A = this chain, B = another copy of it.
Amino acid sequence: MKAEIITIGDEILIGQIVDTNSAWMAQQLNPLGIDVVQISSVPDKPEAIQQAFELAARRSDLILSTGGLGPTKDDVTKQTLAAYFNTTLRRDKQVEKHVEAIFSKLNRPMLEVNRQQADVLDHAVVLHNETGTAPGMWVEAKERIYVMMPGVPQEMKYLMENEVLPRLRQHPSQQTIWHRTLLTAGIGESFLAQQLSAFEDQLPRAIHLAYLPQYGQVKLRLTASGQDTLALDQQIALQFEKLQQLVAPYLVGIGDILLEQYILDNMGDAGLSLSVAESCTGGYLSHLLTRLPGSSRVFKGGGIVYSNALKTRLLDVAEETLATHGAVSEAVVIEMAQGAQRNFVTDYSIAITGIAGPDGGSDEKPVGTVWIAIAGRNGVRAKKFIFGKVRIPNIERAAANALVMLYDMVKTERAIMS
C-alpha cells in the first residue's frame, strides 16, 4: 500500500517547528508494508490543503494528515475537507461530551469554539482522542483511505497507536508481512554491517534487513512480504535464527523493545534496585527510565547534582576531590556513583558528569567530555567519552551510553539477561 503524509500548519513553513511527526509515522507504517511515497507540508490555506489532498489521492491509497484541527480561527482544515469530500460537518455528541468532561475536570468554562472541536465530517468514522479535544477522523472515499489527526505529537501518536494502526492492520487491502526484530548494544552500525555483509547477500529477495541505529544500540529488523505465506514464514524464521547467531556477542534481546525496558524488566525480575546521580544529563537519564510504566519497581530515584555543592551534600563527594580533579573527572564520577549507591540505598547506581556545552570546555577537557560510572555489587566501573560540540546530542549520547554500561555490568555480574 502507498501512503502519503500531509502536515498542515504555517508554523512548519516558517521554520518555527521541525516536523518530527512524519518520520515517526513513517516508522510505524513501514512494518505494515505501507510505503510512504511523499510527505508534504502545506500552510493553513484552503487552496493549498485542497490541492495537497487532490495530488496525494492521485498517487497514493492512504492519505494521512496532521494539524489544522485546533479551535482557533487559523484552522481551516475541517471546512476545506468538507468541501473536498462534498459533505457537511455534524456535531458529534460523544466528542462533545468528552470535550465537556475535559473542561469540567480543568474547572474551566466551555466556549462555543471548544464545542466546535466536536464538529466532524458527516461521513467520517470518529477516532477517539483521549489525550486532547480534537478527535481524529477516518474516511474511506474514492477508493482511498483518508485519516485526519491533530498535529500535537502526543495526540497524533495516541491516535496512531490506538485507532489508526489497529484499523490499518485489519484492512483487507493489507498484504501479509512479517517482522522479526532484535536489539544489539555496544557495536556501531557500520561494524555490524560489515559483519553481516555475507548474511545480507544470501537473503532471499523477499526478505530485507534494516538497521535502526541509536547511540550505541542498533536494532535489526528482518522484514518479509509476499503472497506465499507458508514458505515465507519458514524462511524468515530460518534467517532470523542465523542472524541471532551472528550477532550473539552483542545481542541484548529479541523483539522491538527499548534497552531501558530490558534493563528494568531484568533487574525487576532479579529484585535489583537502581538510583542515579546526574550532573550534565540533568534529569534526562531518569526521564528515559521513568517514562516507562512500572519503572518504580526498579528505579528508586536519585540526585540531580548540577552544582558542586549538591554533589557534596547529596553524594558526599569530597570537596578535596572536586578541587584536585575538577567536577568532570574519574575520581569525582566514582565518588558520585558510590555516594548514590550508599545514600540512596540501591544495588546499582549510575553517575554522569561532563561538559555538555556549548561553553565550559578547555583544551584539556573539551566540550563533549563526559565521565560515566556504574556502581554495582562488585565495585565500580568508570569510562570516559568524548562526544561532539552540540549540547542536546551530548546529553542524549551520555544517557544512552550509561544505559549500555549498566546493561553490561548487570549482565556480567548477575548473568540475569538471557
Contacts and interface: CB of A to CB of B under 8 A. Distances in A.
Interface of A: 10-20, 22-28, 30, 35-44, 48, 52, 55, 70-74, 102, 105-106, 108, 111, 113-114, 130-131, 152, 154, 158, 179, 188-191, 193-194, 200, 208-214, 221, 223, 256, 276, 278, 281-287, 289-291, 293-296, 299-307, 309-310, 313-314, 343-345, 357-359, 386, 388-393, 395-396
B388 A131 contact: yes
A391 B30 CA distance: 26
Contacts of A22: 12, 15, 19, 41
Contacts of A310: 300-302, 344
A11 to B, nearest CB: 6
18 contacts: A13-B39, A14-B223, A18-B20, A19-B23, A22-B41, A38-B43, A72-B189, A74-B210, A113-B194, A131-B388, A152-B214, A283-B290, A286-B286, A291-B392, A291-B395, A301-B305, A301-B310, A309-B345
B293 A282 contact: no
Given A286-B283, A393-B131, A111 B194 contact: yes
A10 to B, nearest CB: 6
A366 to B, nearest CB: 10
Contacts of A190: 71-72, 111, 113-114
Contacts of A287: 282-284, 287, 395
Q: How many copies does the complex hold?
A: 2
A358 B357 CA distance: 36
A12 B210 CA distance: 12
Q: Which of A37, A282, A310, A357 has the most CB of B within 10 A?
A: A282
A278 B284 CA distance: 13
B306 A300 contact: yes
B291 A286 contact: no
Given A13-B39, A15-B27, A357-B293, A304 B306 contact: no
Nearest to A284: B287
Question: Interface SS of chain A: helix, strand, loop or mixed?
Answer: mixed
Contacts of A55: 55
Contact of A282 (B27, B108, B290, B343): B290
A22 B27 CA distance: 20
A172 to B, nearest CB: 22
Contacts of A16: 23, 212, 221, 256
Given A113-B193, A304-B304, A38 B42 contact: yes
Contacts of A309: 300, 345
Nearest to A43: B37
Nearest to A38: B42
Q: Which of A24, A25, A211 has the most CB of B within 10 A?
A: A211
A48 B408 CA distance: 40
B18 A23 contact: yes
B300 A291 contact: no
Nearest to A13: B36
A11 B212 contact: yes
